[in-house]
Structure 1
Amino acid sequence: MDLIHQLNDFTLYRRQNETFHSGYRYENSLSFETLAYPMEMTLWFQNNWHHSITISVVYYILIRSIQRLMRDRQAFTLEIPLFYWNSFHAIYSTIAFARLAEDVGHSYSISFYDAICRTCHPNDAAAFWNLTFAISKIIELGDTLFIVLRKKPLIFLHYYHHAAVLIYTVHSGAEHIGVGRSFIMMNLFAHALMYTYYATKTTKLQIPRWVAMVVTTVQTTQMLLGVLLSACVYWIKTNTDWRCQQSMGNLYLAFVIYVTFGVLFAQFFYKAYLRPRNQKTKKLE
């Protein structure tokens, strides 16, 4: 069975009561966090996850078209909109991280197996924040719009990262993968730091160079941990008869994405912070 067929194999995830999920429920939930996670939404994600690929293709065509239109035009400054944009994502990432920490922390307190093989309860606060995380991956495509309108260098890592994360997040959401909770927490932590850094940069405050190095180090570490956690899930699925909420297709996709991200972020770190300045051909944003 090839990867595409495996990615579409949702046999084990068709009914909500078949989901291998944690029984943990939040003691204190806000009213909007306890909205039911209806079966119809789950089935919609499962049947339409491939549209994330469509969105990614349109995204790439759009940013390249805007780049061409901006070629002979003066760059926009957009400092105030960019400040609010980055601040919004920094605040969201911080709040979502704080709310999901309760569910993820509880799972790890039980066992490592529970943390990476069971998903969150499908009708509780954690499910709500996982859903908003998937939606945020679409909104974050707007990051690239600021780059091309301001005529800043657009590197491959940037748009590949945005498109790949969107596709993988939506597919993982359709499967309710267990290890996804850890992936989301790592991403939210990295983004809380990253967007706070970018928001501060727009204020013209002098930020020490080491702060940018820390942000990139956190991002690179996230990718390495993603590979490690995926390897643990692979071992469980191939060497035990324990149940793990993740298809092999999604697991293979995780390996491809995290390995390529790890290489690209390490390469970026070297070019931005380690390579002698006189060898740099352009300033990396």
Structure 2
Amino acid sequence: MLKILNDSDLHHLSEYSFERRFDERGAIEWMQENWWHSFVFSVLYAALVFGGQHYMKARPKLDLRLPLVIWSLSLALFSIIGAVRTGSYMLHILSSSGFRRSICDQSFYNGPVSKFWAYAFVLSKAPELGDTAFVVLRKQKLLFLHWYHHITVLLYSWYSYKDMVAGGGWFMTMNYTVHALMYSYYAARAAGLRVPRPFAVVITSAQIAQMVMGVTVSSLVYRWMQQGDCPSRVDNITWATLMYLSYLLLFSNFFYQSYLRQNSKAKTQ
């Protein structure tokens, strides 16, 4: 059995005052009562996205360069800070208590530093739906991967946070890190900066690695849950595994279509 971490185990992690004052119990209770609103957001999102595409068919695309720069830069800064804060917490757990505890312990949801950023993470999945507005209004190609990913991450994040399931620390820290890279790239591109193509390859590769790790963590949670170490439920692990496997297939296909297939076409021309 794993010993549950307490505040004394984490006393030397530096906290900002807003992190220390954050009421994680109230946040968890609110999510337990209101997590189903994620379905409402998802339905409204889908209606606005596909309704918006229909509306824009007969209208010229909008430029929106400055709003896109501000939007992407804001999410990049949020993700960078989130990645640093949650990453420092996870590194401490890994170095002091090991890999198994970093997956199975629930302290990520209520520990110093991480408790605020865990809640900020799940809440951020609602405003992040706004990404798609730029795709629709600029009349860009809307990939199934794009809107499917937004909806399922929102649903799963809110569904899981309320139960403080094992593995959350890994899921959130990985997502913060990948989004820090991704939104920084989007901001640079929107600002008109020339970003080397390999950077885009690195981002997609990081996304694929995230999905592989997501499947791995879900499998380990299931294995260790049988031994009483990992607090979770079979239904949650099932949804997490299906979600990450679907992402793995979709991102791998995107990688092939965007980088490998294009390179092979260029060589034959």
The TM-score normalised by the length of structure 2 is: 0.91
* Seq. identity, %: 36
| 2:207 equivalent in structure 1 | 219
| 1:153 equivalent in structure 2 | 141
| 1:166 equivalent in structure 2 | 154
Structure 2 distance, partners of 1:246, 1:269, is 32
| 1:253 equivalent in structure 2 | 239
The answer (yes or no) to whether the contact 2:49–2:133 under 8 Å persists in 1 is yes
Structure 2 distance, partners of 1:43, 1:96, is 22
Deviation at 1:167, TM superposition (A): 0.7
In structure 1, runs of 5+ residues without a counterpart are: 1-19, 281-285
| 2:223 equivalent in structure 1 | 235
| 2:179 equivalent in structure 1 | 191
| 1:22 equivalent in structure 2 | 5
Structure 2 distance, partners of 1:153, 1:278, is 23
Structure 1 distance, partners of 2:28, 2:15, is 22
- CA distance 1:273–1:258, change in 2 (3 Å): same
Q: Which residue, 20, 23, 27 being the options, matches 1:37?
A: 23
Runs of 4+ in 1 over 6 A off after TM superposition: 277-280
The answer (yes or no) to whether the contact 2:166–2:221 under 8 Å persists in 1 is no
Structure 2 distance, partners of 1:137, 1:59, is 12
Structure 1 distance, partners of 2:58, 2:245, is 38
The answer (yes or no) to whether the contact 2:14–2:113 under 8 Å persists in 1 is no
Deviations 1:169-198 (A, max 9, x none): 111111112311011111111101000111
Please give the residue correspondences for 1:1-285 in structure 2 after superposition, counting only pairs within 5 Å.
22-23=5-6, 24-25=10-11, 27-109=13-95, 110-119=97-106, 120=108, 122=110, 124-238=112-226, 240=227, 242-276=228-262
Structure 1 distance, partners of 2:40, 2:12, is 36
- CA distance 1:36–1:202, change in 2 (3 Å): closer
Provide the secondary structure at the position in 2 that maps to 1:196: helix
* 1:64 aligned partner, one-letter code: F
- CA distance 1:104–1:82, change in 2 (3 Å): same
In structure 2, runs of 5+ residues without a counterpart are: none
The answer (yes or no) to whether the contact 1:21–1:122 under 8 Å persists in 2 is no
**Structure in which a larger fraction of residues adopt helix:** 2
The answer (yes or no) to whether the contact 1:84–1:199 under 8 Å persists in 2 is yes
Structure 2 distance, partners of 1:145, 1:40, is 32
Structure 1 distance, partners of 2:198, 2:109, is 39
- CA distance 1:233–1:270, change in 2 (3 Å): same
Provide the secondary structure at the position in 1 that maps to 2:162: helix
- CA distance 1:264–1:84, change in 2 (3 Å): same
Deviation at 1:279, TM superposition (A): 7.2
- CA distance 1:52–1:26, change in 2 (3 Å): farther
Structure 2 distance, partners of 1:47, 1:102, is 30
RMSD value, Cα: 1.9
- CA distance 1:188–1:167, change in 2 (3 Å): same
Structure 2 distance, partners of 1:83, 1:209, is 19
The answer (yes or no) to whether the contact 1:26–1:103 under 8 Å persists in 2 is no
The answer (yes or no) to whether the contact 2:13–2:112 under 8 Å persists in 1 is no
Deviation at 1:211, TM superposition (A): 1.1
| 1:13 equivalent in structure 2 | none
Structure 1 distance, partners of 2:56, 2:79, is 31
* 1:80 aligned partner, one-letter code: L
- CA distance 1:26–1:50, change in 2 (3 Å): farther
The answer (yes or no) to whether the contact 2:24–2:109 under 8 Å persists in 1 is no
Structure 2 distance, partners of 1:259, 1:247, is 18
Larger CA deviation: 169-178 vs 65-74: 169-178
Deviation at 1:276, TM superposition (A): 3.7
- CA distance 1:39–1:99, change in 2 (3 Å): closer
